[in-house]
Structure 1
């Protein structure tokens, strides 16, 4: 192609907050002089909700709530129709990051299974009928402005056979006691999840202890909704039959795009949980779930 375009943002992190200006340059590279019918730059912000296959047959209100929600849509004409000179041309741009009047709020960038919040810049170079229009897309990230950290209150726990929920075959569960704590139930996304776990006693051998970070996505409204949990990442914190009475540190870094601040909107919710998974040497496993809240601080 004799003409190409690239969108380069001034911030290498590509992270912006509501009310700021998204600035950068359009870099046009042309092998020869090229005519065009105008260059436009469009900022889009869309919430996409995809219903689980298990939601088939639910009431129509959920189906309506699954339509994409536009929270930003503004377009500016960067260059009027004319000619692009040979070589490289840089065109600066600046667009304020503000929501549509109907949206009132910008949600954080998030790539989930059933909910996706995505922001992008799209450059369109319109050309004559004989030449193909040129389009370039560049995603950027929106985060909430950091706020003052909440008070950290440790979450202490005991895991033993009678505390487990939704157990199918209790006969296969050995007698055991695991104690520990999460340093808090409200974690800053810029800091790791931390805590401690101790296997006090267990009559069977242990093959593995793992931490699972789980997203819980709710789609719909008060009239009807679907709630789906899916794993984001799994970290093994112990392998083999661990020593009894020895504290094992818990440490997990939150992945960038697959987590966001805990969000509750009229048509969707994004929440998070932490699973502590203990796998015994007979391949039977038990899971204890802890709801956690993620914030920007």
Structure 2
């Protein structure tokens, strides 16, 4: 006897907001009728924290102190023990999405040391001679516009910035750096996550050929507790915006889309932080490189 269990969520993009109703159907297919010992749905959302292996020796207390932070947990019985007929059976469900008391929803995010995920799971219990069936389906939580959980931080008044990169602004290693001047413009370091990061660069002069100019997006994840904190920066994406011997005094556009799931609005809490940085990297012909770092705050408007 072949039995399949599936969950179909109504929204094709699977994006929901706090207060929405998660609705869909449980689909059960079988080539003959069968008994079951009950069908339940579990909706769960959590923040999972992991410590880098570099910090294990320093912060061994993390293994006992850093636990998943549960944001959402709902269990409901769809059907008590009974018998289902052969063919396809559909069981609709509607579950309001409300966080646990003293908790708030954060946007879905897949990082290296911090993961925020939401899922709905269906369990069908069967007799001890038959195997229980289970199906899990992830869905996405996203802030509403102007959500109080999203860091707006007076972004309306933020202006564009101009910057320069040259040997004179370096704190160390000036002797190995050729004479050069790069001027840049960034529209804002307070970035609407649904819009691209934009600006422009101009290589005014350089004594040696430039091999590459790159734009890096970096996540800075911090996990912590009363015993201490561990902070790690990892690259999300690297975009080459200039290749080869870059001509002087021409505009090089900066245009970067924030990737879904691997970025989220900046989060700062007592247990963890998710922050972001943008690096502009110049690689010279001798493979020597210079980096200019810009912390950015992401929000959703």
Q: How far apart, CA to CA, are the structure 2 residues paired with 1:222 and 1:159?
A: 40
1:289 maps to what in 2? 293
Residues 178 and 243 of structure 1: is their aligned pair in 2 closer, same or farther, counting only changes over 3 Å?
same
Judge conservation of contact 2:66–2:225 (CA < 8 Å) in 1: no
Q: How far apart, CA to CA, are the structure 2 residues paired with 1:200 and 1:145?
A: 43
Partner SS, residue 168 of structure 2: helix
1:279 maps to what in 2? 283
Q: How far apart, CA to CA, are the structure 1 residues paired with 2:64 and 2:20?
A: 32
What CA RMSD, in Å, does the superposition of the two structures yield over aligned residues? 1.6
Please tell me whether residue 19 in structure 1 is matched to residue 19 in structure 2: yes
| Stretches of structure 1 lacking an aligned partner (at least 5 in a row) | none
* Number of equivalenced pairs: 294
Q: 1:155 aligns with which of 153, 158, 161?
A: 161
Q: How far apart, CA to CA, are the structure 1 residues paired with 2:107 and 2:80?
A: 33
Q: How far apart, CA to CA, are the structure 1 residues paired with 2:225 and 2:128?
A: 46
Partner SS, residue 259 of structure 1: coil
Partner SS, residue 54 of structure 1: helix
Per-residue deviation at 1:159? 1.0
Q: 2:197 aligns with which of 178, 193, 196?
A: 193
Q: Deviations over 1:183-234 (max 9, x none)?
A: 1111111111111111111111001101000000011046521110000001
Please tell me whether residue 107 in structure 1 is matched to residue 113 in structure 2: no
Tell me whether 262-271 or 217-226 shows the greater mean CA deviation. Answer: 217-226
Q: How far apart, CA to CA, are the structure 1 residues paired with 2:201 and 2:146?
A: 30
1:246 maps to what in 2? 250
Tell me whether 116-125 or 148-157 shows the greater mean CA deviation. Answer: 148-157
Per-residue deviation at 1:163? 2.1
Q: How far apart, CA to CA, are the structure 2 residues paired with 1:222 and 1:176?
A: 46
2:79 maps to what in 1? 79
Q: TM-score, normalised by structure 2?
A: 0.94
1:39 maps to what in 2? 39
Partner SS, residue 256 of structure 1: coil
Judge conservation of contact 2:43–2:74 (CA < 8 Å) in 1: yes
| Stretches of structure 2 lacking an aligned partner (at least 5 in a row) | none
Q: Deviations over 1:113-151 (max 9, x none)?
A: 000011000000000011000000100001111229732
Per-residue deviation at 1:171? 2.2
1:121 maps to what in 2? 120
2:239 maps to what in 1? 235
Judge conservation of contact 1:126–1:133 (CA < 8 Å) in 2: yes
Q: Deviations over 1:36-64 (max 9, x none)?
A: 01110000111111001111233565444
Q: How far apart, CA to CA, are the structure 2 residues paired with 1:184 and 1:284?
A: 28
Per-residue deviation at 1:156? 1.5
Q: 1:261 aligns with which of 261, 265, 269?
A: 265
